[in-house]
Structure 1
Amino acid sequence: MGRLRIGRAGVVVVAAGVVLAGCGSGQDEADEQKAKLAAAAKASAAAAASQANLLKARTAAAAKVKANELGQVPVLMYHRVVDKPATQDDRTPKQFRTELERLARENYVPVTAAEFVTGRIDIPAGKHPVVLTFDDSSPSQFELDGVGVPRPNTAVAILQSVAKAHPGFRPVGTFYVTRDMFGKETPEEGAQMLLWLTDKGFDIGNHTRDHLNLRGKEKKAVNAEVAAGHRLITGLIKTPPVTLALPYGNQPDTKEWGLKGSSGDVSYNYGGVFLAGYTPALSPFNKKFDPLGIPRIRSMDKTGDCAKFCSVAWLDWLKANADERYTSDGDAKTIAFPKFKAPFVAKSFSDRVLPY
């Protein structure tokens, strides 16, 4: 055991064994703490290096495919798909199929209007988003046979056929429905149609209940018509619409009335409002993106007024001006673009940018 003795100066001296044991314990703790700090610093440095390497790899991958997620997106507008077109908005089944096959060949991947306006554009690297929209809920767009299969030559059947022939081409789109509801007369039939579409990944948007021109109407009337369309949908399915397509493409006197409002017990607050023409839309990540008036492109050949401003003409232009087109980097968590385009990023997405 250790012994105590009093030195000349009255200092207590502890036997060497005890003193050495105490000092040794303190030194061990200090060494252990030092080792932990060193290990933590090493791990932190390794994590930082790994993160830097990952960022470098992502940047290189984005540059390789010339990603431009601030670019323009074609939002195509369809109405009836019939053998004998009666209006300039009608397309034949052959014309519709031909346009879809072109989109597939040129590396477009369909996304819904809801995915587009909310920035949930999850498509492979090097691909381009396209939004397929269908107005007025015509039976030529969608009709089921007795066993729940889309009838041949309807828009949905053609879209599924093209997707099957071109893996990766998603068979999805957005249907802007009205009270006609694909020609169905009962709520049960309407619900059956919407449930089938949403189950297959399609999006249901509001086109108002009665398809009335909203321009020139008072706020109360605008709110009532949009809310009636909203109620029409939510009365049949649980998923509320995320977007509105304006009847005839005409905005109300105050544009915000179409985006947000209420009437009675129904309130709506949409992610975007779509027009009827006639240019590609800006990326939702672009600071100039305007959710109050998102342009769409009418599907039509290069004839008459459509020589410059309909689908064939604009798809030609996007192909010839590929640097203006939205091209994905393949990572939905990042927004990739050439560095010189940085001034155009919306501030709300600044934490996701990947310039190269």
Structure 2
Amino acid sequence: MRRLGILGTAGVLSLSALALTGCADEQPSKVVAQPAKGGKQSAQEARKAAAATAAKAKANELGQIPVLMYHRIVPKPAGTDDRTPEQFRTELERLAREGYVPITAREYTTGKIAIPAGRHPVVLTFDDSSPSQLTLDGSGKPKPDTAVGILMDVARKHPGFRPVGTFYVIKDMFGTFGAEAQAQTLGWLRDNGFDVGNHTRDHLNLRGRSQDQVMGQIAAGHKLITDLIRTAPATLALPYGNQPSTKNWAMRGDAGNVHYTYTGVFLAGYTPAASPFSKDFDPLGIPRIRAMDKVGDCARFCSTAWLDWLNAHPEDRYTSDGDVRTVAYPKFKGPYVAPRFTSYTLPY
């Protein structure tokens, strides 16, 4: 199951290490650490200590990151994309036990990955804005049997396991009706640290469509979100994972008076993803992993199988050094750092 090449040694930076303005079209930039007081010797000593800390954590901030893809969370699955609440909870519990910390797609594509030393990032994504993912009760709280309700419950039981994820919405909008109800639901996600991404308005297959059709669908989905919560999405998930004939149409474009620019475009499968500071990182086609047990094709290429593989190959998995100022990794993996970030590296 080892991937071709060294896709598992992509360059990464930590979340707080990046200066972010919140604009989706801006590229990540590193926060520059202030020189240590006491001159050159003190700086050298600090760097040596940081390298020792990274080595102790077995840091590999050039490792692979699983981006998991979910759809409906329902008691009686009607298709292979559905998961039961019990299956979803079991997978989240596993992630928590194995040291994963959820981050959003926005944080991932902008390099905003701030997790403790020794921990691993995971991106939880949810497609099609199903009511099973989020439904608010009469008091404005997520119902406990929804994906958000389950995620928050698991986070309460596992301190440090952030209850965040990215929801790729379409016009169905969690089964709500009317702008007020839709704005309430999207606003709840935004206000509670979750991420709202674009999945186009009508979930049409973009493969083979004209430039106007592709940009029209993406812009319509973009406008749907910004009209409701005034917060522009940073990323797009392609319906069915199918890219348009010109990949860049998905990344940036215009239709009518709507302009969109994204930091990442996500596919539908099927491997762990490279880091945003990697030579291998391609923002036009970021792979995701379908959430499913080891059955059929999923015996090798879905979430249970890939989490097993990452657990068996820790040298290929992203592990944080907990230091926002550095990109830490074993020295022999240095060739895989994207050149523009080499000044922030901490090989040990």
The alignment's TM-score, normalised by the length of structure 1, stands at: 0.87
2:209 counterpart residue number: 217
Greater relative CO (CA pairs within 8 A, separation 6+):
2
Structure 1, residues 82-131: CA drift from partner, whole Å, max 9, x if none? 00000000000000000000000000000000000100100000000000
**Which one of 283, 296, 299 corresponds to residue 304 of structure 1?**
296
Identity of aligned residues (%): 67
1:340 counterpart residue number: 332
- Computing the radius of gyration from Cα coordinates, the structure with the larger value is 1
1:52 counterpart residue number: 44
Structure 1, residues 47-82: CA drift from partner, whole Å, max 9, x if none? 222211111111111111111111100000000000
- 1:354 Cα deviation from its structure 2 partner: 1.1
**Which one of 235, 255, 258 corresponds to residue 243 of structure 1?**
235
- 1:44 Cα deviation from its structure 2 partner: 9.7
| Contact 1:120/1:332 (<8 A) preserved | no
Alignment partner of 1:288 is 2:253: no
CA RMSD of aligned residues (A): 1.3
2:144 counterpart residue number: 152
CA distance in 2, matches of 1:123, 1:53: 24
1:170 counterpart residue number: 162
Structure 1 residues 44, 224: CA separation in 2 closer, same or farther (over 3 Å shift)?
closer
2:156 match: secondary structure: helix
Aligned length: 314
| Contact 1:69/1:285 (<8 A) preserved | no
Alignment partner of 1:193 is 2:192: no
Structure 1, residues 287-335: CA drift from partner, whole Å, max 9, x if none? 1111110000000000011000000000000000000000011122321
Contiguous gaps of at least 5 residues in structure 2: 1-34
Contiguous gaps of at least 5 residues in structure 1: 1-42
1:140 match: secondary structure: coil
Instruction: Point out the more displaced range, 55-64 or 84-93.
Output: 55-64
- 1:239 Cα deviation from its structure 2 partner: 1.6
**Which one of 204, 212, 215 corresponds to residue 196 of structure 2?**
204
- 1:45 Cα deviation from its structure 2 partner: 8.9
1:129 match: secondary structure: strand
- 1:179 Cα deviation from its structure 2 partner: 0.4
- 1:148 Cα deviation from its structure 2 partner: 1.1
Flag the structure with higher helix content: 1
Instruction: Point out the more displaced range, 96-105 or 223-232.
Output: 223-232
- 1:284 Cα deviation from its structure 2 partner: 1.2
Structure 1, residues 213-266: CA drift from partner, whole Å, max 9, x if none? 000001111111111111011101122100000000000011111011111111
2:22 counterpart residue number: none
2:346 match: secondary structure: strand
1:321 counterpart residue number: 313
| Contact 2:207/2:243 (<8 A) preserved | yes
CA distance in 1, matches of 2:260, 2:110: 16
